[in-house]
Amino acid sequence: MTARRLLGAGSALAVLLSSCAAEVVTPHSLTAPEAERLALVRYLNYETRIAAVRATVPTGAGTLVLDGRVDFVDHVGHVAFRTEGRADAASAGILQWNPALVAFRQGRGQRAEDPPAADGWQLRRLQAEGSELDVVLLVLLNLANDRPDNPQLLRQSSARWLRTDTVDGDAVDVFAGPAEGGEEARLTYWVDRESNLLRLTIRLSGQEVDAVLSFSPSSVPLVPLPALTPR
């Protein structure tokens, strides 16, 4: 190869490397517009009130798949659940929950329909720690607020813009939520241009795989069990 060709090839390679370097995405602290968008997420959930949710939750007993709805205003959820790779009766069923209680009804082939079945439910306290499922259920009930969050406080927190992405073809920005107690951020938000939350991931303690929650609009009211009805 002649010296001229070598120089030409080297120049082309330099341009290519420069172009690749320019495309590297670097996470950064929130800008003012980004903080304002993230600050609206929980408020829009509250305004929407009912959302359909589908989730995969890694646990020590296998991966749980949840499919149902959550009422962000009354703080109650209703989902069917099943455990991947298991076929026993205890590995599937339906459950409802509020910030204090979980009601569950075991058995395969059930759906989170309204009104809920009248019998066969068992009640237990919701655990704030030690249960991957309960952590996810609590997070779901805390994804709404009757007013926007403070964007200035978000900018002062550890929240960060991570990258752009897509969810089912919709363009989103991916944000790491504020860390609590100085720890790494556990929640990651996929937020569209209108500040709607389309996906959330949760880093669960002791698990190598994140819980993944996907959201879509729902117009179907959620009918809670009497034991879970807000008072």
Give residue-wise pLDDT tens across range 177-188.
987 654 444 899
pLDDT at residue 191 is higher than 70: yes
Residue extents of the structural domains in the chain: 29-219
Lowest mean per-residue pLDDT among 19-23, 39-43, 62-66, 133-137? 19-23
The whole-number average pLDDT for the span 25-32 is 94
pLDDT at residue 220 is higher than 90: no
pLDDT at site 86: 83
Q: Which residue has the higher pLDDT, 141 or 205?
A: 141
pLDDT at site 91: 85
pLDDT at residue 67 is higher than 70: yes
Distance CA 171, CA 161 (A): 14
Of all residues in the chain, the percent with pLDDT exceeding 70 is 86
The single residue listed with the structure tokens 């602290």 is 29
Distance CA 176, CA 72 (A): 21
Q: Which residue has the higher pLDDT, 17 or 172?
A: 172
The whole-number average pLDDT for the span 151-171 is 96
pLDDT at site 231: 63
Give domain 29-219's CATH architecture.
Clam (2.50)
Q: Which residue has the higher pLDDT, 14 or 36?
A: 36
pLDDT band, very low/low/confident/very high, at 108 (cuts 50, 70, 90): confident
pLDDT at residue 4 is higher than 90: no
